[in-house]
């Protein structure tokens, strides 16, 4: 999958992994498959205080000390090493950051930093093997990304893998192979990735406007490169950049997690200390000169979903003193329902959505604003409304309350983002690379707290002037999607380039040894509480950060929608926060925002996901808001009408998204009409939904006896139990919960191929699969191992090695057994150029046939087990993932002991059980294939 970001975007710009970061690979299928696909479990993905709330935690949240126990060491060869011990879980993260990104590229080689990042996974002179296979064998959650100022490689794994990860990173810092065959193959992969980005109108519009903002600086060009430049890259060019920039004195090594600093530094000296400096001369920082002459509005008139308005204002470098006030300004303008531009543009009906971001980089920066229009709204009028709104704000001024709320949100966002070690290390690495000071964020928060009302008005006047900005319009042309459907046969013979019996042995040959460490302590199990009304509560204290993470599930998903009410469950979920018997929408939002807390509800197939987080001292506010909205929501008419219009606008965008179109057609091709999973929203169904419908749905399906809540974080269990009892103990409803009958769905009789055409898309998105198993199926654990071997990640799986690595047909290919409570789906997803789609589909089917008939090998099973177990342990170190696993184990009817026993169940699976699962669950000739995007010219035989 292509993503503009490797992580969920945080508004705080110093987390920097914003929408213009380009990730090289998404290794694991969990990252590739979002919850709105054929999924049945929510993905890991807004706020009256009480006098007693401080008593729930052991301490107040004091001034944040992100770097309190960070140690900085510089080796003789210039390598900067940052270490931070965090002992909340037996995991470590190892990251290497290079001060080299697209901002250092010469003219004519746009994207070479990104191309080099890809090639860094292709092996070294010591280990001529795909590094993704080595990381997978270690069970490491590994990835990489390129941005304007840096390229970073990051790995999170169990603590006994620390030395192995250091060894692999040192090896590719010094010895990477860059040969013609690898470059040719990986250029195809990069072009596939770029085509994925080009599928997005927002990407194309931003690219056009940035060319106008910085006409003479590399910041104007896309990080991932352009197809024209990528096609011309030579081995000599790539090696030149590798030799110049991949030097220890141009790198930062960050290690965070469960380790001993002194011992680890000795290992670092041994592993990295002998790497010599290259002939590197520090790159002279070129400060961009933004265009000063007025330019006309840039207009893109192309097929697409919704009209878009992009506005970009040049800003100074990250170390300039105006940056803190600009951050506060951004929050006041666009953060949440109480933000100024949300009220001026969205609540007024002029826009569907407004978002913005302060990009602060080494050489310069910019403030980018993206406004999604409603329907056929004239973008010229919308642009004029933005100018008028900003002028009005300067005249009326901002309030002290707005400034203080924004400062609180900024501070809380940093604390909440640092709940897991991967993000903690990323904060340190980015700060050191971008500002030469790993304590930058901590110092920046001090400066944030100094921002006053006058400072915000000053930066608006200084930087957000109409003559300084560049503007772009995306004006979608009329499009009519057509569907070409047929059953056809494709070539069935494929010469696989890899001997599957040799591959795992080769991995073992090049894998560094593991550390010998004491066995980790047994994992704590959450405390369980069931109230008299049936509400189930799971509590797991964790004192390592002053935060709390809340997850929940209510059995009120889209499965309960009738054929003519597609979108109803989602409308209910998004409207819960829009007003209650006690508070209006703005009061609800303000109550959370002043504490920097978050609360969100999102409907999926089998339920409604609840996700919340806050500082620990603010847990009573988070629970109080949750209680009020799920018990007392009133769905005010004005807010409901706006939400329904937003749903219609979102639908237009979804129908222009090849990935979402492929998912919709795929699910509806598997599950027939009248099946609970067949219904999707349409413009007609959304338009027909009335306020009385959402009130009735909420009254019927939001019940304590179908609700599960889990809380992980810094709290006193007994006091939280008492608070929950007081808040939710008297929540009563009438009757029994609604039930559904899921009919049996058979396999397709042969291969069915559907090609929904989405105009204007250069890249095709393919979904392949059929009905699968549910979570309670006895074959579940064997299926997880089978899937890891088949397509669990894009670099070490059989599908990845063949279709991506050897043939270069796709940027990403993944498989997954998506298991729900009642039903499941087997799914393979990939992105290709339209001309490569038939060959990629054929290769995939042939590989499925090979595994179905021949099975897998013992060493593949053992490698997959290690990967799954390690990945599972890593996920439990993340409070969001941990709390969600707690909830879904309860939803699926599993004992909370599953948190511990999952690993032993994986370990007990035999080779015979995996191969039996392959025979029973893989059906290459009875498969639904949906390829959305451009028309596919295949070798068709109409049956």
Angle at which helix 235-245 crosses helix 180-198, to 10 degrees, equals 90
pLDDT for position 283: 62
Which range among 256-270, 318-332, 514-528, 845-859 shows the weakest confidence by mean pLDDT? 514-528
* Average confidence (pLDDT) over 631-645: 96
What distance in Å separates the CA atoms of residue 299 and residue 471, rounded to the nearest whole number? 9
Token digits for 27?
């290794």
The Cα–Cα gap between 905 and 594 comes to 45
Instruction: Report the predicted TM-score, pTM, of the whole model to 2 decimal places.
Output: 0.90
SS3 of 357, please?
A: strand
Alpha helices in 708-827 (DSSP H): 717-728, 780-791, 798-799
What is the percent of the chain with per-residue pLDDT over 90, rounded to a whole number?
Answer: 80
Say yes or no to pLDDT of 370 above 80: yes
The whole-angstrom separation of Cα 296 and Cα 186 is 38
pLDDT band at 522 (very low <50, low <70, confident <90, very high): confident
Give the number of other Cβ atoms within 10 Å of residue 310's Cβ: 22
- Residue 35 pLDDT > 60, yes or no? no
Question: Tokens standing for 332?
Answer: 């006041």
Q: Please give the average per-residue pLDDT across 653-666, as a whole number.
A: 95
- Tokens representing residue 614 in the block: 């806050």
* Residues recorded for the chain: 943
Answer yes or no: is pLDDT of 55 > 50.
no
pLDDT for residue 561 is more than 70: yes
Six token digits for residue 47: 């706020």
Q: What is the mean pLDDT of residues 635-642?
A: 96
pLDDT for position 939: 39
Predicted confidence (pLDDT) at residue 484 exceeds the cutoff of 80: no
User: What confidence score (pLDDT) does residue 500 get?
Assistant: 47
SS3 state at 260: coil
Distance CA 912, CA 188 (A): 38
Q: How confident is the model at residue 506 (pLDDT cuts 50, 70, 90)?
A: confident
Residues 923, 749: Cα–Cα separation, whole Å:
10
Residue pLDDT, tens place only, 688-716: 999 999 999 999 999 999 999 999 999 99
Q: Compute the distance between CA of residue 46 and CA of residue 610 in angstroms, rounded to an integer.
A: 11
Q: Which residue has the tokens 């998404």?
A: 26
For residue 938, give the DSSP letter: -
The HSE-up count of residue 860 (CA atoms within 13 Å, CB side) is: 26
Sheet with 527-530: list strands edge to edge.
Answer: 527-530, 536-541, 707-713, 547-554, 607-615, 598-604
The token pair at 302 is 């192309």
Tokens of 796: 């070490």
Under a CB-based contact definition with an 8 Å cutoff, are residues 341 and 350 in contact?
A: no
Q: What is the pLDDT of residues 160-173, one digit of tens each?
A: 999 999 999 999 99
Mean pLDDT value across residues 560-574: 95
Compute the distance between CA of residue 256 and CA of residue 418 in angstroms, rounded to an integer. Answer: 12
Strand, coil or helix: what is 484? strand
At residue 280, the pLDDT reads 63
pLDDT at 528: 94
| Buried b / exposed e along 114-149 (16+ C-beta atoms within 10 A) | bbbbbbbbbbbeebebbbbbbbbbbbbbbbbbbbbb
Average pLDDT, rounded, for the chain = 88
Residue-wise pLDDT tens digits, 343-355: 999 999 999 999 9
């Amino acid at each position: 999958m292509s993503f503009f970001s490797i992580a969920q975007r945080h508004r705080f710009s110093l987390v920097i992994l914003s929408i213009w970061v380009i990730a090289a690979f998404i290794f694991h299928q969990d990252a590739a498959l979002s919850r709105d696909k054929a999924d049945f479990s929510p993905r890991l993905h807004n706020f009256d205080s009480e006098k007693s709330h401080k008593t729930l935690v052991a301490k107040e949240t004091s001034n944040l000390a992100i770097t309190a126990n960070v140690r900085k060491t510089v080796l003789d060869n210039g390598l900067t090493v940052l270490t931070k011990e965090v002992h909340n879980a037996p995991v470590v993260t190892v990251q290497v950051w290079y001060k080299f990104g697209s901002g250092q590229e010469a003219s004519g080689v746009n994207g070479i930093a990104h191309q080099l990042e890809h090639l860094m996974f292709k092996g070294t002179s010591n280990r001529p093997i795909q590094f993704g296979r080595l990381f997978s064998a270690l069970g490491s959650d590994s990835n990489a990304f390129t941005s304007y100022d840096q390229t970073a490689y990051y790995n999170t794994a169990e603590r006994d893998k620390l030395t192995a990860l250091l060894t692999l990173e040192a090896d590719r810092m010094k010895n990477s192979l860059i040969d013609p065959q690898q470059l040719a193959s990986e250029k195809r992969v990069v072009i596939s990735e770029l085509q994925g980005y080009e599928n997005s109108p927002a990407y194309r519009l931003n690219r056009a406007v940035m060319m106008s903002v910085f006409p003479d600086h590399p910041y104007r060009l896309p990080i991932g490169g352009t197809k024209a430049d990528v096609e011309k890259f030579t081995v000599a060019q790539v090696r030149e950049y590798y030799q110049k920039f991949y030097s220890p004195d141009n790198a930062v090594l960050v290690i965070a997690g469960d380790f001993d600093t002194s011992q680890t530094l000795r290992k670092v000296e041994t592993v990295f200390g002998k790497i010599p400096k290259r002939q590197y001369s520090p790159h002279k920082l070129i400060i961009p000169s933004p265009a000063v002459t007025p330019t006309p509005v840039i207009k893109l008139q192309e097929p697409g979903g919704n009209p878009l308005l992009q506005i970009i204002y040049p800003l100074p470098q990250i170390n300039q003193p105006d940056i803190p006030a600009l951050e506060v300004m951004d929050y006041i303008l666009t953060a949440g329902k109480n933000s100024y531009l949300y009220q001026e543009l969205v609540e007024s009906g002029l826009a569907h959505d407004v978002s913005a971001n302060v990009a602060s980089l080494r050489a310069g920066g910019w403030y980018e604003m993206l406004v999604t229009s409603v329907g056929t709204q004239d973008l010229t009028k919308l642009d004029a409304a933005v100018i008028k709104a900003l002028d009005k704000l300067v005249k009326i001024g901002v309030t002290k309350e707005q400034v203080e709320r924004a400062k609180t949100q900024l501070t809380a966002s940093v604390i909440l983002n640092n709940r897991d070690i991967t993000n903690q290390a990323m904060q340190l690495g980015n700060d050191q690379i971008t500002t030469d000071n790993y304590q930058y964020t901590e110092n920046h928060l001090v400066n944030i707290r100094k921002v006053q009302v006058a400072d915000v008005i000053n930066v608006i006047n200084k930087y957000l002037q109409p003559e300084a900005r560049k503007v772009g319009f995306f004006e979608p042309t009329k499009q009519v999607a057509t569907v070409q459907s047929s059953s056809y046969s494709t070539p069935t013979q494929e010469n696989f380039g890899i001997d599957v019996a040799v591959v795992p042995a080769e991995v073992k040959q090049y894998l560094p040894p593991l550390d010998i460490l004491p066995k980790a302590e047994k994992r704590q199990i959450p405390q369980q509480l069931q109230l008299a009304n049936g509400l189930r509560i799971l509590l797991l204290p964790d004192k390592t950060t002053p935060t709390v993470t809340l997850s929940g599930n209510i059995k009120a998903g889209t499965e309960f929608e009738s054929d003519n009410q597609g979108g109803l469950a989602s409308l209910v979920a998004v409207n819960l926060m829009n007003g209650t018997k006690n508070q209006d929408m703005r009061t609800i939002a303000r109550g959370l925002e002043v504490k920097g807390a978050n609360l969100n509800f999102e409907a999926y197939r089998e339920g409604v996901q609840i996700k919340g987080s806050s500082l620990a001292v603010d847990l009573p506010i988070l629970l109080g808001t949750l209680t009020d909205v799920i018990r007392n929501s009133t769905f005010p008419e004005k807010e409901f009408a706006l939400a329904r219009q937003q749903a219609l606008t979102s639908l237009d965008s979804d129908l222009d998204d090849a990935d979402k179109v492929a998912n919709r057609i795929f699910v509806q091709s598997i599950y027939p009409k009248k099946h609970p999973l067949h219904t999707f929203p349409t413009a007609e169904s959304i338009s027909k939904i009335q306020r009385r419908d959402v009130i009735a749905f909420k009254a019927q399906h939001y019940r304590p006896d179908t609700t599960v809540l889990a809380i992980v974080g810094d709290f006193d269990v007994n006091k939280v139990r008492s608070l929950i009892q007081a808040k939710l103990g008297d929540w009563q409803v009438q009757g029994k919960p609604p039930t559904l009958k899921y009919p049996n769905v058979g396999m397709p009789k042969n291969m069915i191929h559907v090609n929904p055409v989405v105009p204007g898309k250069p890249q095709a998105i393919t979904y392949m699969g059929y009905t699968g198993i549910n979570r309670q199926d006895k074959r579940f654990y064997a299926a997880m191992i089978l899937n890891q071997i088949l397509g669990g990640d894009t670099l070490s799986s059989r599908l990845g090695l063949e279709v991506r690595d050897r043939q270069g047909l796709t940027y990403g290919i993944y498989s997954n057994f998506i298991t729900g409570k009642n039903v499941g789906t087997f799914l393979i997803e990939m992105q290709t150029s339209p001309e490569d789609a038939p060959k990629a589909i054929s290769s995939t089917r042939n590989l499925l046939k090979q595994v179905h008939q021949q099975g897998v090998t013992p060493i593949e099973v053992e490698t997959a087990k290690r990967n799954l177990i390690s990945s599972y342990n890593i996920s439990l170190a993340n409070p969001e993932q941990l709390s969600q696993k707690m909830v879904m184990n309860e939803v699926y009817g599993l004992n909370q002991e599953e948190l511990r026993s999952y690993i032993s169940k994986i370990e007990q699976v035999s080779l015979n059980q995996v191969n039996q699962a392959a025979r029973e669950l893989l059906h290459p000739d009875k498969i639904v294939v949906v390829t959305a995007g451009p028309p596919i010219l295949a070798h068709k035989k109409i049956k």
